[in-house]
Amino acid sequence: MGLKGTGKTKKLVEMVRAAVDEEHGDVICIEKDKVLTYDIPYQARLVHASEYGINSVELMRGFISGLAAGNFDITHVFIDNLFKIIGKVPGEQLSLFLAWLERFGEKESITFTLTLSADPSEYGTNVTKYIYQQ
């Protein structure tokens, strides 16, 4: 989570590459449009959310659930710029979504990594506790 232009997508691409090299399962990367086509290794499944009409938290939850139901080998799901895909949501709704991702990931043995273009100071600890610290 950080302001636009702070290198979040670049770091996400590096993390996708590392996951492809190190993990023994399928790696998925969800983005809004076809921006990362040449940046993401071909071994990762690149999904363009705009092709599936994902534009809300509820649709993203359903889409992720469907991915997991159809592929038991997923080990990592990356989502680039969540707010670009679903629109900016209030802190409480984001907090509930992140908590759901955490529970779902534990149950399905899937790691989730997201980028968000937003100022972390606008969100409470229920959201900021999920921020990756290097």
Domain holding 22, by residue range, is 8-127
84 occurs within a structural domain: yes
1 occurs within a structural domain: no
134 pLDDT tier (thresholds 50, 70, 90): low
116 neighbors 82 (Cβ within 8 angstroms)? yes
- Axis crossing angle, helix 91-108 with helix 57-70, rounded to the nearest 10: 10
2 occurs within a structural domain: no
32 occurs within a structural domain: yes
Backbone torsion region of residue 109, taken as left when φ is above 0, otherwise alpha when ψ lies between -120 and 50, otherwise beta: left
CATH number, domain containing residue 113: 3.40.50.300
47 neighbors 28 (Cβ within 8 angstroms)? yes
92-116 per-position pLDDT tens digit:
999 999 999 999 999 999 999 999 9
79 occurs within a structural domain: yes
24-64 per-position pLDDT tens digit:
999 999 999 988 888 999 999 999 999 999 999 999 999 99
48 occurs within a structural domain: yes
Total count of domains within the chain: 1
CA-CA distances (angstroms) from residue 57 to 36, 63, 89, 90, 97?
Answer: 22, 10, 8, 11, 7
81 occurs within a structural domain: yes
Give the Cα separation of 85 and 120 in Å (integer): 18
Tokens of 126: 């229920």
